[in-house]
Structure 1
């Protein structure tokens, strides 16, 4: 099906050998494989495809019905199957550029400044030139290749090089080799790991639905409250009131800017205070809301419900502590479009627009009457706690998947043993 001289053109595959950790290598590493596994050149079992960006000067190429994967799509959907994209292109955009419409199941790897993000197309799509893409043949399942690339994140970043931005170049990509078992074994491994990912996806949908319900509750409460009023955020909230100081021998769970996205954050590992960056100075407690002060248009924010005294956020966050209002109310008013628009209007700086703490304090917010506030807080916090339970379960499932992933890909753990582990744990 696939061939060494793929339709991407350009330079031929490198002759260098750069082994990865588990099941991926630039060149054939010619090393021992477990029983039933073999090394195969990826371009011989999957068709390598490139991406392209149609001219942005021509409006007829954009806004069509063809999803087009860019870096933002990969960063927000890393490790997932993707069905929608931030931008779309038209058939004219395909016909008048080097962009290609690729089939569902195509595995995409970001290879430029943001190296290593992996997504799989859920429907036919095109991609930017920031990606290398594989249309898998019968010897390798697309989801199995997806899991190999997920397991080899460290290796993929090591394969990259460049003077300005690290990039995985095509000579290395064309020389990729993967260590794979027979298709039947791939199916069992994919089914096991996929079950964990599917459960994570279900929990994500539960959390998203619950958050939408909170917003509906708030809108309904505000619309029906004849005694509602307005105030400022600083009147009902403490902003950056608790500082964290390094302690000798102490530990920290550090939340940095990159670990927070829209309404979610990556649970930080425990590290020693001595290893924490100098920006680790904002103490965070359960019930606090954290909002990134940098680039407010990205809406990097989260409600913290983990009762862990070691959580510390970067000084790049405004930590909002409820005083005269509840945590659910505080979070909801800072999620409103009006609040985000205000932050964008008072941000300072061109390259990295940021909002000062005193600007947060002056933000105008709606206030519910006392009775409405109590009712909303009670109902909304029940939903937020359901979201929190789903997120905690996902942490456990993701840790289990990530622990099994490289061992299954390398054959260190066989599928029958992994199935027992998952059965006992889930």
Structure 2
């Protein structure tokens, strides 16, 4: 006999309804069509069997759907105020996180003279246009652009639980989108969202399990940020030590693109593209076959090398490579800088400065996709601290960099575990007491 439960009962039977808080986005009514997701999200009620204790419920019965808006850009008095304003870059750069600050902010006057709304902390935001499917939760009251659908959860639905549902169903959300040039999740589909959830107590237990992993990942991210700040300060101090700093060209202390690999016909690799490199880090790539690899998969980097994106240097896409995985292969759109007459920590630090970035921007060629030639990297002027303090800097800085790298490697493992547990817990296929032991062993 199947353990799966009936879908006849609904969340409102245990007090989850938000019927008194109607959606205020206006526009067309919810679609009557059904587009099933993978586990716990669907456009319309799919009527699929559920695990015991779980049921399909309209999201609008549990949370109030809110839209966003962009105040007029021609009114400077509407911008740079004290109200954080969530844009697409905030979502893509902080996917899966609670955010307390944003790249842009608006004023009370901007809110009063537009359709923007200040939404409460805990509001769950889902990007619905351009970059579809990114999820953030407000840590403080904020407004958003019209690129988001936002949910203010009622008592029957944990905002963090909804956050995890949307994270686990990111690919499904992209399937819900329409359009050829610009994919968009339209409001009729968003209004028809259904979620498969347990009662609130079970939601909180599931959130606690997944949250333990995310909290540890957050601690590791804080370690990395602290190391960046500390080593940056150490470098500034060494520059001023004794007044003996000297200006040299980067090519005097570093190799540029010294190693490459040929396109193979068999085997696997971990390919790092430009898009996966952020400011000070890169996303850990999955294994792919060489048959799947693009032609740009050619660069090799050794432990201690620095990678810098040659395209759009204003984005500051760079990282220190401390992974010794022989299957790592980098895009030819990345310049690989190898330490030659200085240590890896010092080389990385001289390329992190605002002056180095400004130089790259000044020599970039092209308007749509400004790019920097490899020989331009070699000609970059950089400041070296006095020789007698470099060794101490290198030793202290590399110890810190290795500590941050250990934290990053641990976070990769924890993220894989979270992403493995996420759909199983969201669907009810894995129960909390079993997941708790797995997480305890990991953290």
Could you tell me the TM-score, scaled by structure 2's length? 0.95
Q: CA deviation at 1:254?
A: 0.4
Q: Tell me the residue number matched to 1:60.
A: 77
Of 349, 354, 361, 1:337 maps to 354
Q: CA deviation at 1:252?
A: 0.8
For residues 176 and 420 of structure 2, what CA distance do their matches in structure 1 show? 23
Q: Tell me the residue number matched to 1:298.
A: 315
Report the secondary structure of 2:390's partner residue: helix
Of 323, 344, 358, 1:327 maps to 344
Q: Retained in 2: the 8 A contact 1:3–1:43? A: no
For residues 378 and 321 of structure 1, what CA distance do their matches in structure 2 show? 18
Of 58, 62, 65, 1:45 maps to 62
For residues 254 and 2 of structure 1, what CA distance do their matches in structure 2 show? 49
Q: Retained in 2: the 8 A contact 1:2–1:48? A: no
> Structure 1 regions of 5+ residues with no counterpart?
none
Cα gap change, 1:3/1:28 in structure 2, threshold over 3 Å: closer, same or farther?
farther
Q: Tell me the residue number matched to 1:15.
A: 32
Moved more, 28-37 or 365-374: 365-374
Q: CA deviation at 1:359?
A: 1.0
- Runs of 4+, deviation exceeding 6 Å: none
Q: Tell me the residue number matched to 1:392.
A: 409
For residues 431 and 246 of structure 2, what CA distance do their matches in structure 1 show? 62
Could you tell me the TM-score, scaled by structure 1's length? 0.98
Q: CA deviation at 1:257?
A: 1.2
Superposition RMSD on alpha carbons, in Å? Answer: 1.1
Report the secondary structure of 2:307's partner residue: strand
Cα gap change, 1:3/1:233 in structure 2, threshold over 3 Å: closer, same or farther?
farther
Q: Tell me the residue number matched to 1:221.
A: 238
The equivalences for 1:262-273 within 5 A come to 262-273=279-290
Q: Tell me the residue number matched to 2:226.
A: 209
Report the secondary structure of 1:313's partner residue: strand
Q: Retained in 1: the 8 A contact 2:309–2:316? A: yes
Report the secondary structure of 1:385's partner residue: helix
Q: CA deviation at 1:369?
A: 2.8
Q: CA deviation at 1:226?
A: 2.9
Q: Provide the aligned length of Structure 1 versus Structure 2.
A: 426
Q: CA deviation at 1:270?
A: 1.4
Q: Retained in 2: the 8 A contact 1:19–1:29? A: yes
Q: CA deviation at 1:250?
A: 2.0
- CA offsets per residue over residues 215-234 of structure 1, 9 Å max, x none? 01100000114332110011
Q: CA deviation at 1:114?
A: 0.3
Confirm or deny that 1:137 pairs with 2:154: yes
Cα gap change, 1:136/1:5 in structure 2, threshold over 3 Å: closer, same or farther?
closer
